[in-house]
Amino acid sequence: MASSDIKPTRSGLMIVKRRMALAERVHRLLSMKLDGMMLELIKITDQAASERRILEEKYARAREMAAIATMMEGATGVLLAALSVEAVPTYTTDYKNVFGVRLPELEPLMVKKALIERGYGILATSAAIDDAADAYEDLLSQIIATAERDGMIIRLLDEIEGTRRRVNALEFKVIPELAELRRFIESHREEMERQDIVRLRRIKKIKERRR
């Protein structure tokens, strides 16, 4: 039932009061959710900044190890070692629920490998290749961890924006309109009651005159 369809009657007033109570309760819950999500966003943003710093450090180390390996084995040797990897690194996706928001969780899969799992011949390559492989595996793991945090931030920002719009709509439109409608119905009912009292007095006087 739209607000415009509510009649200024006792039942109409009860409907408006119930709607106001519901709107205020939803507004309170959404405001609490918004506050909680903001705190979670701050925490995850701090974590993401830390992950970014670690990512930059691991990227620099991976570049350094790759340069050393290239000097030791040559560009062709490094390329052949890289192409010999059979198990493609990937990740699995899961979600955790935070304040009703599904935040992504990424788990590395086949990223960290033992020497015998890398595919290239251990005896045919130098330790520089192993060091470069270790560095790039660390880098890839860190990329996945950083992407996880970034995904969480994006999901939280989207949900925060949507929740803020709903809170504002309730606070500045729905609740004020219901409050105004309640005042109108109460005022109308008071006026009707006054008219009824005046009418009853007139009827009483008329009856008294006829006696």
Q: Residues 6 or more apart from 200 whose CB is under 8 A from it?
A: none
Q: What is the pLDDT of residue 59?
A: 97
In a domain, 207, yes or no: no
| Reported pTM | 0.78
pLDDT in tens, 93-104: 999 999 889 999
In a domain, 67, yes or no: yes
Domain of 77, in residue numbers: 9-198
Do residues 148 and 95 lie in contact, with contact meaning Cβ atoms separated by under 8 Å?
Answer: no
Query: To the nearest 10°, the Cα dihedral for 76, 78, 81, 84?
Result: -60
pLDDT in tens, 171-182: 999 999 999 999
> For the domain that residue 54 is a member of, what is the CATH number?
1.10.287.3240
In a domain, 89, yes or no: yes
In a domain, 205, yes or no: no
- Across residues 12-31, what is the average pLDDT? 94
In a domain, 211, yes or no: no
| Number of domains the chain is built from | 1
What proportion of the chain, given as a percentage, has pLDDT over 70?
Answer: 91
